Copies of this chain bind each other. A is one copy, B any other.
Amino acid sequence: MAHELMRQLPKERLIYLGDTLRCPYGPRSKTEVKKFTWEMVEFLLQKNIKMLVVACNTATAFTLTELQEGLNIPVIGVILPGARAAIKFTRNSHIGVIGTDGTIRSNAYPNALKSINGDIHVSALACPMFVPMVEQGILSGEKAKNVVEESLQVMKEDDHLDTLILGCTHYPLIKDTIQEVIGDYVTVISSSEETAREASTILEFRQLLYKGDRVARHQFFTTGELGIFEKIARDIFKTSLPDFRSVIIEKAVIS
């Protein structure tokens, strides 16, 4: 997500806060997810942000509405951008969505899809193995393929599916493996890419886009171990952001 925002909006300054310490949110209760999300939001509000992107499907599912009602800046979640992109891509109105337990339990994607088009057929599937696998750095190869194959078995049996939403911000890291398993004829949609694009739409529509000429400096914060976070971030950004060395990475203390 951070990567897509920086790529699609290179003039905008990103202030990223990763709750590495308490991640994943997927298996947590609604109450806990709400509490943690509000703590994260309070931290970011102190940085004078002009827009908030909730870059987590579980947090979006449980807190988006109250954040939108409670804050006086635009708040964007990852679910509706993914849903809208799926509606744009599907040709037969059969859409699949995979995500964490929390996201799938919340029914947020089927609700979002059906709120726009009542005739959409949605297959939703929790893939609890994917986040732990990605967190271990297993992104491709035989082991990854076996896990993905096993998890997506039910979905593969649905012949009609023509569009699949990756309803978790970790899943784009295994997008190639998922595409290979699910088949070429299924359009695989990354909520992150779509959310970055909608952030761009809303910023322009609200006349909040930075109009000058600059390449923005970004700030990254983590609630967890600085060293591990820095290593992962450098790995992700090494090709796309050659000047990542100049990015500020700090430890965030959430009270």
Contact = CB atoms under 8 A, between A and B. Distances in A.
Nearest to A85: B197
A60 to B, nearest CB: 13
Interface in A130-156: none
Interface residues of A, number: 28
Contacts of A119: 10
Contacts of A116: 8-11, 200, 209
Main secondary structure on chain A at its contact with chain B? helix
A175 to B, nearest CB: 14
A202 B200 contact: no
Residue of A81, A87, A119 with most partner-chain B CB within 10 A: A87
Given A88-B193, A193-B88, A196-B88, A117 B11 contact: yes
Nearest to A212: B118
Given A118-B213, A211-B115, A213-B118, A8 B201 contact: no
Contact of A8 (B81, B87, B118): B87
A117 B209 CA distance: 11
Contacts of A211: 115
Given A8-B87, A9-B116, 13 more contacts: A8-B116, A8-B117, A11-B116, A11-B117, A80-B201, A84-B197, A84-B201, A85-B197, A88-B196, A88-B197, A115-B209, A115-B211, A198-B201
